[in-house]
Amino acid sequence: MVLDESIDVVIEEKLEGRGVDTVRAENGISDQEVMQYAIGQDALVLTRDQGDYVQLDAQLEHPGILIDKQMHLRDKALVAETVSSILEKHGEALENNVVFVSNFYGRF
């Protein structure tokens, strides 16, 4: 999973603790560059910033985009648990889709 620069390091650590392989995008690169990197790595993108990702979703084939604009306000363990559950339960169905993580809190 490619983490946009907006993702808290604690969330990254908690995801890795749940067995999710992560790589952090370089600070300052564009959403387009993050997507291109993720596509090259065949990895989903996790971001807090909707930015250009919805538009890029319509333009590119990609492994998937997970967005939660409010994750910085949530318990970091809950974010990691929810994201890893989405990956586990929905896996390949995420391909070429944008998923709003906030729709899944409390569902697993």
Q: What is the pLDDT along the chain (108 residues), one digit of tens a residue?
A: 999 998 999 999 999 999 999 999 888 999 999 999 999 999 999 999 887 898 999 999 999 999 999 999 999 999 999 999 999 999 889 999 999 999 999 886
pLDDT number for residue 91: 87
Q: Coil, helix or strand for 34?
A: helix
- Which alpha helices (H) appear in 18-70, and where do they start and end? 31-41, 53-59
Alpha-carbon distances of 9 from 22, 76, 94, 106, rounded to whole Å: 11, 10, 24, 23
pLDDT number for residue 43: 97
pLDDT number for residue 108: 66
Domain ranges of the chain: 2-103
Q: 39 — alpha (psi -120 to 50), left (phi > 0) or beta?
A: alpha
DSSP string, 20-33: ---EEPPTT--HHH
pLDDT number for residue 51: 79
pTM value is 0.93
